């Protein structure tokens, strides 16, 4: 890449950083959604940017569409901004969404939370922390329960998400 390309990329990244900051100021969090590819069995995922700034790990959901991801993350981020401190193993329920989620730590956050780490200027080895919100299936079973109906590539276990 030549100097023009580097300058254009830097300008675009500066605009993205400004957009992220404005969204966090306006809504409390920015949600980074990364689309998947069903043919290649790559799961979509989404995570928050903004909770690290209030002393809490960022939140991650995998395998959901953009609307469901935003609804879950905004709901739980609102709880955190309202004073809740999520802990691994905690179960959450929702009004208007039939699923429950269990909070789980993510051991490889630096391989996932690129936008959050860029925003907070943290290298991957000192990544912001992530908590995965693992949801149950239609039969109210979680991935660790016998008979769980969702394919593992749609909702991989913490540490198994391939980006």
- Mean per-residue pLDDT pooled into runs of 10, the chain (163 residues): 68 81 92 89 94 97 96 97 96 94 97 95 95 96 93 91 83
The two structure tokens encoding residue 96:
């208007």
Delimit the domains of the chain by residue range. Answer: 3-135
Sequence-ordered strand ranges (E) for the chain? 30-34, 45-49, 58-62, 91-92, 101-105, 130-135
The per-residue pLDDT for 4 is 57
The pTM assigned to this predicted structure is 0.90
- Maximum CA pair distance of the chain? 56
Q: What is the CB neighbour count within 10 angstroms for residue 161? A: 22
User: What is the pLDDT, as a whole number, of residue 1?
Assistant: 46
């Amino acid at each position: 890449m030549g100097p023009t390309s580097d300058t254009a990329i830097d300008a675009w990244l500066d605009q993205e950083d400004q957009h992220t900051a404005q969204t966090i100021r306006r809504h409390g969090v920015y949600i980074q959604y990364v689309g998947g590819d069903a043919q290649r069995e790559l799961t979509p995922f989404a995570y928050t940017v903004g909770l690290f700034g209030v002393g809490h790990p960022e939140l991650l959901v995998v395998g959901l569409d953009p609307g469901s991801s935003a609804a879950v993350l905004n709901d739980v981020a609102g709880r955190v901004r309202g004073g809740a401190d999520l802990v691994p193993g905690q179960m959450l329920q929702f009004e208007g969404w039939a699923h429950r989620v269990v909070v789980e730590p993510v051991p490889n956050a630096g391989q996932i939370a690129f936008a959050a780490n860029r925003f907070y200027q943290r290298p991957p080895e000192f990544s912001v922390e992530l908590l995965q919100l693992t949801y149950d299936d239609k039969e109210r079973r979680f991935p660790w329960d016998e008979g769980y109906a969702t394919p593992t590539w749609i909702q991989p276990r913490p540490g198994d998400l391939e980006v």
